[in-house]
A = this chain, B = another copy of it.
């Protein structure tokens, strides 16, 4: 990659907690119930006698604590500009991000953050020991010093700002380390080589003097004395614990609080089981390493996985029911359906039961029945629809309401009733037909039926696509998930992207009803799919080789997401549906031509950067959707882009490590500059896991 200075999340599964690190000249630290990187100085490095200590550049300014001055007044020691250390320069550092890790190597130091992940079986099938393994809200780190070339012992530290206590105060020495409050701890198992640190200015005494435990200190951690001539690795737990009720609307706690009573218990657990965690991480790392993907795709999948995990949150309500939440990066909306439907490929791979959990809560609490209105404002019966999200910032919104949607709003923040109806159908179909959970599919049959009826109610002219808006919009009209991207993608009615997703919803419903033996419903869905396909195909302009983004107002925008909807039939194995020679052949052929037309510099290839832009009329582009559409192009439509493909991947990866380096995984990027535009610290990019299916 071009730059190794970028933030990444490092997170356990389902704990809405991460350790953020990676941007040079700035700190990092623990983010709890949030994903914004904090700016706590982090001190990782070593010193040998008579030499200046070396630190990775994860601190800003002098790195000195400010705590002592309040006690003792002006202290000239604190006027010094710098700690007495030599930070590693970027060119001295080799950073390697792997699927379940992130490693910095500099001088004789190797520091690795380890974020093991893998399949999480349904909790009710696990005994308590297994639950603890999967839910422990901690990650591991390994700090290594190769002191073999030295005939003197060296000091090796991991410490950070914001620490207020040493762990031995409460663990009787069974754990060593530092923590703050009841929520955060950095710990290791005791060894004679390890000493705890707590002070205001922690580095200099740890490197050059006697390690200090000053309980008033505001920097804390561990120092290891590595023997002369030895190479040593020490394993750390970076543990979190958010106790008590953390949500409103549905009062709930983190599920892991039923398994662990304190952050020390968490830290002790993961250190005790470190070999199993490390093996799991190794398994993932090797899996990605082996995959036949170019290095940019490997990097992106790893980076995006890190940010997805950071946004995951497994809650338990007061009745003991689990609630699965993926938070929406910087926006903190919870279970935004536009994300759920794109993250489903990840979750079906590792924990399909969380998809069901989301689907069921959308039905039970976040569905509503509306009326629809035509352009003249006449009202007609509507049907079931779903909210855009369930809540924001740990506040569950009231039943039937999202945090995002409001009435009488033009553009952003209006309702997305039709698209979320599509999203439930699509997500439900994938789960119902791919997970093997036949029982759920049968139970959900009435919902699928209601969904079909609701879709049809929104197609008043019988052309298979939406033409009536929900009355929840008030004096406005519905929008799509691409609300903020471009007018070409914002409105729902007569929208190419949404029409294709609706076509896909009908195709999927047809397959669901066939599986359920509901022939009449299946036939209706299939008929609607045919109508939708015909409608979209009819909008193709042969002489120009594209389908306009909106079928009205003389719109001439060219958009890549025209093809997005093709993925759903493909995932269900309906190759005929997506074949130019199949029953929707005219549509598929038109889309292939469309894609070839738009993938040109100055149209949907940014003329400056060379990256994909979703719309010809906007420089706001969304990386997760690029990846999804790349997958459709390559795998579903069979495009072979040759060398262009890797060059595109290189550009897209560079956006993450350069323009968006301070934002961890970023979805909304300016296609010309590669800088972040929105959707920072985002989970949805984990859709990139599709690349692994492609690789099979």
Query: A residues bordering B, Cβ < 8 Å?
Result: 70-73, 164-165, 169-170, 179-182, 213-216, 243-249, 251, 262, 330-331, 333, 392-395, 397-398, 401-404, 406, 412-413, 484, 620, 677-678, 680
Q: Least Cβ distance of A188 to chain B in Å?
A: 18
User: Which B-chain residue is minimally distant from A670 (CB atoms)?
Assistant: B73
Q: How far, in whole Å, are A290 and B87 apart by their CA atoms in the complex? A: 64
Q: Least Cβ distance of A64 to chain B in Å?
A: 18
Given contacts A169-B249, A169-B398, A215-B402, 11 further A-B contacts (CB under 8 A): A71-B413, A164-B395, A165-B392, A165-B393, A169-B397, A182-B246, A182-B394, A214-B413, A215-B395, A216-B404, A251-B262
Residue numbers in B under 8 Å from A680 (CB-CB): 70
Pairs A-B, 6 closest by C-beta atoms: A244-B244, A215-B403, A243-B244, A165-B395, A164-B393, A169-B398
Residue numbers in B under 8 Å from A484 (CB-CB): 71-73
Residue numbers in B under 8 Å from A249 (CB-CB): 169-170
Residue numbers in B under 8 Å from A392 (CB-CB): 164-165, 215-216
Q: How far, in whole Å, are A678 and B72 apart by their CA atoms in the complex? A: 8
* B70-A182 in contact (CB<8A): no
Partner among B245, B403, B678 whose Cβ is within 8 Å of the Cβ of A243:
B245
Residue numbers in B under 8 Å from A393 (CB-CB): 164-165, 180-181
User: Which B-chain residue is minimally distant from A329 (CB atoms)?
Assistant: B70
* B245-A182 in contact (CB<8A): yes
Q: Least Cβ distance of A66 to chain B in Å?
A: 11
User: Which B-chain residue is minimally distant from A330 (CB atoms)?
Assistant: B70
> Contacts A215-B392, A215-B403, A392-B216; is A165 near B331 (CB within 8 Å)?
no
Q: How far, in whole Å, are A153 and B227 apart by their CA atoms in the complex? A: 79
Can you sample 5 A-B contacts with CB below 8 Å?
A: A71-B412, A165-B393, A181-B246, A182-B248, A216-B404
Which of A249, A403, A404, A620 has the most CB atoms of chain B within a 10 A radius of its CB? Answer: A403
> Contacts A169-B395, A330-B70; is A182 near B244 (CB within 8 Å)?
yes
User: Which B-chain residue is minimally distant from A165 (CB atoms)?
Assistant: B395
Q: How far, in whole Å, are A182 and B333 apart by their CA atoms in the complex? A: 17
Which of A73, A401, A402, A404 has the most CB atoms of chain B within a 10 A radius of its CB? Answer: A73
Residue numbers in B under 8 Å from A398 (CB-CB): 169
Q: How far, in whole Å, are A73 and B486 apart by their CA atoms in the complex? A: 11
Residue numbers in B under 8 Å from A620 (CB-CB): 73
Residue numbers in B under 8 Å from A216 (CB-CB): 331, 333, 392, 403-404, 413
Q: Least Cβ distance of A171 to chain B in Å?
A: 10
Which of A214, A247, A394, A395 has the most CB atoms of chain B within a 10 A radius of its CB? Answer: A395
User: Which B-chain residue is minimally distant from A181 (CB atoms)?
Assistant: B394
Q: How far, in whole Å, are A73 and B618 apart by their CA atoms in the complex? A: 12
Residue numbers in B under 8 Å from A170 (CB-CB): 248-249
* A72-B412 in contact (CB<8A): yes
User: Which B-chain residue is minimally distant from A412 (CB atoms)?
Assistant: B72
Which of A216, A247, A413 has the most CB atoms of chain B within a 10 A radius of its CB? Answer: A216
Q: How far, in whole Å, are A398 and B216 apart by their CA atoms in the complex? A: 14
Residue numbers in B under 8 Å from A179 (CB-CB): 248
Q: How far, in whole Å, are A170 and B251 apart by their CA atoms in the complex? A: 10
* A70-B678 in contact (CB<8A): yes
Residue numbers in B under 8 Å from A214 (CB-CB): 406, 413
> Contacts A215-B395, A392-B216, A395-B165; is A678 near B246 (CB within 8 Å)?
no
Q: Least Cβ distance of A668 to chain B in Å?
A: 8
Residue numbers in B under 8 Å from A182 (CB-CB): 244-248, 251, 394
Residue numbers in B under 8 Å from A401 (CB-CB): 215
Q: How far, in whole Å, are A247 and B263 apart by their CA atoms in the complex? A: 12
* A397-B245 in contact (CB<8A): no
Q: How far, in whole Å, are A179 and B393 apart by their CA atoms in the complex? A: 11
Q: Least Cβ distance of A408 to chain B in Å?
A: 9
Q: How far, in whole Å, are A677 and B397 apart by their CA atoms in the complex? A: 47
Q: How far, in whole Å, are A125 and B484 apart by their CA atoms in the complex? A: 61
Which of A213, A244, A404 has the most CB atoms of chain B within a 10 A radius of its CB? Answer: A244
